[in-house]
Structure 1
Amino acid sequence: MARPNDEVEALLREYADLIAITGKGAFKQRAYERAARAIGGHPADVATLDSKSLREIPGVGSSIADKVEEYLRTGRVAAVEETRASIPPGVRALLDVPTLGPKKAMTLYRELGVSSVDELAAALREDRLAELKGFGPKARENIEHGLAVLRQSGGRIGLDTALGVAEETVARLGEAAGCVRCAYAGSVRRMKETIGDIDVLAAADDPEPVMAAFCALPLVAEVVLRGRKKTTVRTVDGLQMDLRVLAEDSWGAGMIYFTGSKAHNIRIREIAVRKKLKLSEYGLFDAKTGRKRAARTEEEVYRRLGLPWIPPTLREDRGEVAAAQRDALPRLVTVDDLRGDLHSHTDLTDGIAPLTEMVAAAARRGYHYYAVTDHAPELRMQRMTLDKARAQREQLRQLAGEHGRLKLLHGTELNIDPEGNVDWPAEVLAEFELCVASIHSHFELDRDAQTRRLIRACENPHVNIIGHPTTRKFGRRNGIDADLDAVFAACARTGTALEINSHPNRLDLNDEHILRAREHGVRFSIDSDAHAPTHLGHVRFGVAQAQRGWLGPDDVINTWPLTRLRRFLRKTGAR
């Protein structure tokens, strides 16, 4: 179930969209967007804060704080409901289409009567948008692309949301009478970037009390199917969740079976058949006599098949079984391996917390080093200047030594323009200890142009890391069209790392890209792209992507000691 901060963030974001639709002012819209981001990233539960504490959250003034209190007290906000009532519901639904902004959505409704995604698709097929001002060929192409992105999402949700639900469910069911063990399985355990539904397993002699506790969970909106061994529910957010209860002595086999993937399970069942065994969710059995050979733990089942235990993040039938047979599975990178974070923001640009708070949060994570990389001036909405950057550098120097062993690095996130140039001349870039370069605009360029701009950025001697390389955002924007293998080769040649951006809305690079880039000899940086102290914890999702891409600690530059990292950042070829 969503925490109060998440609920309030969603409400304020909706209100910002409604303000944009009604044309009540870009300043007011941005104020609510900023407040939404600040509350979503605030470490304390807003439901526990008094009025004074609410107003101390960056960007939350008196008017917004009053609305937050009203929502927490009554479950509604009159101003939001009044604005909702003034806008046809279909117009709000159109905002789910990436690339379609509030003004265009309202125009479609007023001029063509379009009030649903299906009606929009029909209007495109009938070429009715051509009649409207501002809906030229490029705009129509963008809307078609947005509809395709929406269809591709297929109702799947982000890993962070699914994991939160799964962890809460497991914690509560673990307290149920007679529950001996409980864990989530399926694609959540394999840490796939998006999730269709959630599989939960429990071990108990009597399934009934566990099933009853499952159906009574506060996050359950509907019991779809209830049985003795399996129950299916739908959560208040519309997510399907399945609970299966097994005997404790079948736990290991059940976890393998329900974790999957299907292709991985087929591969290991083939090994079982060759050994005259039969593998199911209940155990590994002698095919002839039916005698159980292994079942209690995953390690036991894999060992009986002649394999070491295979980490769930690798179980996709991408060579992991063959590697296990050769005793060649990688030692995967973990969160504990990370010595620092090389991409984060403060309230100097679009972060919500001051530098001191971000540094303190990094110190609490036990990092050896931490880089602040606020946006550069070509992202004009952030209003960065060289004077501001240099003042921040001086502030970092003054903070040096205040948090024990933590070393502070002053960096910047540059903008890669259509030609591959970046903000600031070389002599200014040389002042920074590291430079992350990212694409923030011109997503529509063709394949050759996108490839050229990325390669040119790699070739810049001051660019150390390519941030969120494909620019994708789940449900909002597909990645750019570029020859990524050419980019990967350029990164390997120039000693430029590729970022695995850990923000759960990005997870960019994805696991398949990581696998390909690794073959080119690329190094990686697993970063949070944090805009608030709580966002530093997003690295767990980036690490999962890295594991799914078979990365070990040595592949990731922010697992290295600072002396080795500094050599890499000089782009001298030292690895």
Structure 2
Amino acid sequence: MARPNEDVEALLQEYADLIAITGGDAFKARAYEKAARAIGGHPGDVSRLDVAGLKEIPNVGTSIAEKVVEYVRTGRVEAVEESRARIPAGVRQLIAIPTLGPKKALTLYEDLHISSVDELADAIRAERLRGLKGFGEKTEQNILHGIDLMRQAGGRILLSTAAEAAEEIVAGLSRIPGCEQCAHAGSLRRMRDSIGDLDILVAADRPAPFMEALTELPSTAEVIAHGQKKTSVRTVKGVQVDLRVVRRDSWGAALQYFTGSKAHNIRTRTIAVRQGLKLSEYGLFGARGGRRVASRSEEEVYARLGLPWIPPALREDRGEIEAAQRGELPEVVTEADIRGDLHTHTDLTDGLAPLEEMVAAAARRGYAYYAVTDHAPNLYMQRMTDEKILAQREQLRALDGERRMRLLHGTELNIGPDGEVDWPDAFLAGFDLCVASVHSHFGLDRRAMTRRLVRACENPHVNIIGHPTTRLIGRRPGIDVDLDEVFAACARTGTALEVNAQPDRLDLGDEDILRARSHGAKFAINTDAHSIPHLAYLRYGVGTAQRGWLTPEDVVNTWPLRRLRGFLRKHPGG
């Protein structure tokens, strides 16, 4: 279920943007940004805290705490409402464009009276921005690319946002008497990286109570359609939800049908036709007599078609039908297979929780091992030093002796433009593992970017390439790089590719995972957690890995510690 913390985080971040748009105090805007992150990553429910309790959260002072209490109590904050009223809604939308920040949005509004995304696109094409300071031809191209990204995303939402909304609705409907089954379906069940609409399925004899209940849920803001077979609503966060109620004896067929994908369903229906059958959301029927031969469970439906049950994440018509027919479906990795997280952060750099708290939270997840990998010194804003990282190592070693979970001391290095990383070899040799990631210079040409990543793979101390394409879903495209050359280098050098579970990254994505796997590369599914709640993001990384057909053998952090340590010694081939 969605947490109040996330609503408060969004509000404070919006207020920070509003301050910046209006040319307010940059320090104040930054303070609200920091508070937003701290509240979003706070493990407790902030709606239960008073001002004093809120002030115990890092970066939350009295003024911010009072605004949070006001919001929790009334659903609004007067200061935010006043700021919103001073700025046209179109201008507020401008800052949602990737590559366009609040200062540039304010300049566009004040100098050219631009107050919508469409007006901005037209102004760029008419070359009206050329006279503005800070708006060169390259900036125009970047803004147009950002507008295209935003439009391509359309009304799609992140996997995590969809999952939280769906779980809240499923929990609410499951409590209604007469509910025999309730689940989400569609692209969410297939764990796509972004979701359009939510599909919810209920098995019950009487649809009416469930249709009515959906319209009355606290999260429902608008009823789009209300019928006996289907009801559609829009949530307060703008997500469309489609509810269908079926009889219990049709549950399996309906779940298979509404899970999709469309291409996968065409293949299963074609198989049915070849067998003299007809497959629909109501069941599998004989084409002539109309007798139902399978419908109660997905396993039953697939078995009658001569197939094993196919995991939802694989149902994209990317070879899963053929693999099933050959008996070669992969036993895809599950969350239960993960023995430890190999990329996490603490408040030593840009994390929100101290080392001890992150370690304790990881131990509660039942991990066999856990790595702390705070940022290295070349990410200058984090102010890392040799002394700080060595002191953390001593602290970690002391904690390691107190727990059954083994602790690994690592770092997240920065891959520089030429492929260089922070710290000399002798210093890097003291770490248990090193993640290396691109954090800057995203605009290098394809050849230079490829050479950059290959050189990082060839570094004997680099064990994992973190968020390899650097994409941010709906906000920033991946870097221009010859991924096949990078994947081959990873396989050759014994360097794992990360499947970063942060919902706005999910990087590598599923299609890239499939390509990398064909090269023989290994992978690490990590959360890149910057707070305790982020550790739960693991499931999104696992879902993405499943879509890439990964098995536990492919994923190094499913391995026992002894085997993992062997891989971390960087012997090519793992």
TM-score class normalised by the smaller sequence: over 0.9
* Paired residues of 1:178 and 1:210 also in contact (CA < 8 A): no
Q: CA deviation at 1:426?
A: 1.1
Residue matched to 2:319: 319
For 1:454, the equivalent position in structure 2 comes to 453
Separation (CA, whole Å) in 2 of partners of 1:2 and 1:538: 13
**Residue 136 of structure 2: aligned partner:** 136
Paired letter, 1:540: R
Separation of aligned partners in 2, 1:290 and 1:483 = 53
Aligned pairs for 1:303-342 within 5 A: 303-342=303-342
> TM-score, normalising length from structure 2?
0.98
Structure 1 range deviating more: 486-495 or 220-229: 220-229
Q: Where do 1:44-63 residues align within 5 Å? A: 44-63=44-63
1:164 aligns with 2:164: yes
Q: Aligned partner of 2:157: which letter?
A: I
AA paired with 1:14? E
Whole-angstrom distance in 1 between the partners of 2:414 and 2:94:
30
**1:344-393 superposed Cα distances (whole Å, 9 cap, x missing partner):** 10001100100010000011001111111111111111111111111111
Q: Specify whether residues 323 and 574 from structure 1 end up closer, same or farther in structure 2 by C-alpha distance, changes over 3 A only.
A: closer
Aligned pair count reads 574
Q: Which residue of 1 aligns with 2:177?
A: 177
CA distance in 1, matches of 2:506, 2:330: 21
Residue 373 of structure 1 aligns to a residue whose secondary structure is strand
Equivalent residues of 1:283, 1:294 under 8 A apart = yes
Is this contact kept in 2: 1:189–1:312, CA < 8 A?
Answer: yes
Q: What is the 5 A alignment of 1:54-453? A: 54-403=54-403, 405-453=404-452
| One-letter amino acid matched to 1:18 | L
Letter in 1 for 2:192: K
Amino acid at match of 1:177: P
Write the distance in 1 (CA, Å) between the matches of 2:401 and 2:287. 65
**Map of 2:463 onto structure 1:** 464
Measured against aligned partners, the alpha-carbon deviations of 1:469-494 in whole angstroms (never above 9, x if no partner) come to 01011222111111111110111111
For 1:194 and 1:338, how far apart are their aligned partners in 2? 23
Q: Give the distance between the partners of 1:549 and 1:484, measured in 2 at CA.
A: 15
**Residues 68 and 513 (structure 1 numbering): CA distance in 2 closer, same or farther, change over 3 Å?**
same
Deviation at 1:312, TM superposition (A): 0.5
> How far, CA to CA, are the matches of 1:567 and 1:377 in structure 2?
27
Cα deviation code 1:19-48 (max 9, x no counterpart): 222333333222211211111111211111
Residue in structure 2 matched with residue 475 of structure 1 by the alignment: 474
Distance, in Å, in 1 between the alignment partners of 2:185 and 2:412 is 37
Aligned residue identity for 2:382: Q
Query: Which residue in 1 is equivalent to 2:547?
Result: 548
Partner in structure 2 of residue 528 of structure 1 = 527
Q: 1:512 & 1:333 partners in 2: Cα distance?
A: 16
Unaligned runs of 5+ in 2: none
| CA shift for structure 1 position 402 | 2.1
What residue is the counterpart of 1:569 in the other structure?
568
Q: Please say if residues 567 and 574 of structure 1, whose CA atoms lie closer than 8 Å, have aligned partners that are also in contact.
A: no
What does residue 26 of structure 2 align with? 26
> SS of 1:192's equivalent?
coil
The superposition leaves residues 496-536 of structure 1 with CA deviations (integer Å, 9 ceiling, x where unpaired) of 10000000011000000000000000000000000001111
Post-superposition CA distance 1:240-271 (Å, at most 9, x none): 11111111111111111111001111111111
Whole-angstrom distance in 2 between the partners of 1:67 and 1:208: 41
For the 8 Å contact 1:435–1:465, the answer to whether it is kept is yes
Give the direction of change, closer, same or farther, for the CA distance of 1:235–1:22 in structure 2 (3 Å limit): same
The one-letter code matched in structure 2 to 1:360 is A
Task: Report the more deviating stretch, 219-228 or 293-302.
Answer: 219-228
**Structure 1 residue 177, shift from structure 2 partner:** 2.9
- Tell me, yes or no, if the aligned pair for 2:97 and 2:146 is still in contact at 8 Å: yes
The one-letter code of the counterpart of 2:215 is: C
Structure 1 Cα separation of the partners of residues 374 and 307 of structure 2: 47
Alpha carbons 2:362, 2:370 under 8 Å: kept: yes
Following TM superposition, the consecutive aligned residue runs of length 4 or more in structure 1 with deviations greater than 6 angstroms are none
For 1:374, what is the secondary structure of its paired residue?
strand
**Aligned residue number for residue 17 of structure 2:** 17
Q: Which amino acid aligns with 1:125?
A: R
Q: Distance in 2 between matches of 1:95 and 1:467?
A: 28
> Match for 2:369: what amino acid?
Y
Offset of residue 2 of structure 1: 4.4
Contact 1:155-1:196 at 8 Å conserved across structures: yes
> Structure 2: how far apart are the matches of 1:9 and 1:497?
33
Return the letter of the residue paired with 1:270.
T
Distance 1:92 1:208 in 2: 41
CA contact (8 A) 2:503 2:537 kept: yes
Contact 2:436 2:465 in 1 (8 A): yes
Q: Deviations over 1:21-80 (max 9, x none)?
A: 233333322221121111111121111112222111122122211211121122222222
Query: Deviation of residue 91 (structure 1)?
Result: 2.1
In 1, Cα distance between equivalents of 2:269 and 2:444: 47
Aligned to 1:130, the other structure's residue is in SS state: coil
1:463 deviates by: 0.6
Contact 1:177 1:210 in 2 (8 A): no
Matches of 1:573 and 1:477, distance apart in 2: 32
**TM-score, length of structure 1 as denominator length:** 0.98
What SS does the corresponding residue of 1:372 show, helix, strand or coil?
A: strand
Give the match's secondary structure for 2:241.
strand
Q: Within 5 A, what are the aligned runs for 1:490-509?
A: 490-509=489-508
Runs (5+) with no aligned partner, structure 1: none
CA distance in 2, matches of 1:28, 1:423: 32
Distance in structure 2 (CA, Å) of the matches to 1:365 and 1:62: 34
What is the rounded CA distance, in whole Å, between the counterparts of 2:248 and 2:266 in structure 1? 24
Please say if residues 55 and 65 of structure 1, whose CA atoms lie closer than 8 Å, have aligned partners that are also in contact: yes
Check whether the contact 1:41–1:534 (CA below 8 A) recurs between aligned residues: yes
Q: In 2, are the aligned partners of 1:498 and 1:523 still within 8 Å (CA)?
A: yes
Distance, in Å, in 2 between the alignment partners of 1:127 and 1:83 is 31
What are the Cα deviations for residues 283-323 of structure 1, in whole angstroms up to 9, with x where unaligned?
11111111111111111111111111111011000111111
The change in CA–CA distance for 1:237 and 1:296 in structure 2 (over 3 A counts) is: same
Rounded Cα–Cα distance in structure 2 between residues aligned with 1:7 and 1:204: 33
Q: Mean alpha-carbon deviation: is it higher for 457-466 or for 204-213? A: 204-213
Deviation of 1:83 (Å)? 2.8
Aligned partners of 1:278 and 1:285 also within 8 Å: yes
